Amino acid sequence: MTLQPPDTVDLLNAQPMGSYAPAQIVRDAREHGIAARPVCINASRRDCTPEPTAGRYLAVRLGFRMVAGLSNDDGARIVAHRGETPYTGVEELWRRACVPASALERLAEADAYRGLGLDRRGALWAIRGLADAALPLFVAADRGHAPQPELVEPPVALARMADGGEVVEDYRSVGLSLRRHPVASRDCSWTFG
């Protein structure tokens, strides 16, 4: 199976199909020189989309449809409220898009906040400080002003997730991983066929 970017995008957006899993489609595309880019809070749309590259083929950007447990409505709100202005943080995304914290957690599990400088654990930590119901005291303080953070915490250094854990979480939350498999040999030239 040799795929061009539009074919790859169409196959991913037609899932579930039964004949090929998303991981197989993306693996084949990558083996044929097509770059695959992860789900990103500031670049993804609902569906997977082609993106320009400097290379021979377009790249494939994974869409919000790939994120397990993320509703179409929440994904649509995130895209609509993003418009041409990228999100700069988890709290800003939450306030602008008006999506529940549970939707933000699904995106964190899918590692969609890397573009904001947050790994899975850092994003989940930031989301835990959000509450879907505003506290009355802070609502009163926010009246007539730009929304203020409800709680300012000092930065926390969280332990880095092991490579194997990252791959497992990728498969659990997106159904595929764009990372190098942790047991892959770095100097081995053979492949499975």
For residue 27, pLDDT over 50 is answered with yes
What is the overall mean pLDDT for the chain?
Answer: 81
Q: Is 52 exposed, middle or buried (0-12, 13-18, 19+ CB in 10 A)?
A: exposed
Residues 163-181 have pLDDT tens digits of 777 787 787 888 788 877 6
Average pLDDT over residues 122-148: 66
Q: What is the mean pLDDT of residues 66-95?
A: 95
The pLDDT of residue 43 is: 96
Structural domain boundaries of the chain? 5-66, 72-163
Q: What is the pTM of this model?
A: 0.75
Residue 89 has pLDDT above 80, yes or no: yes
Neighbouring-strand partners of residue 28: none
pLDDT at 188: 43
120: nearest Cα among 138, 130, 107, 131: 107
pLDDT at residue 173 in the model: 82
- Altogether, the residues listed in the chain come to a count of 193
More confident residue, 77 or 137: 77
Asked if 17 contacts 169 with a C-beta cutoff of 8 angstroms, the reply is no
- Give the model's pLDDT for residue 6: 64
Beta-bridge partners for 36: 60
Per-residue pLDDT for 5 more than 80?
A: no
**For the ranges 59-73, 85-99, 117-131, 139-153, which has the lowest average pLDDT?**
139-153
Residue pair 114/102 in contact (Cβ under 8 Å)? The answer is no
Return the structure tokens found at 163: 């490579």
User: Pairing state of beta strands 49-51 and 59-61?
Assistant: antiparallel
Reported as a single tens digit per residue, the pLDDT across 61-78 is 999 999 999 999 999 999
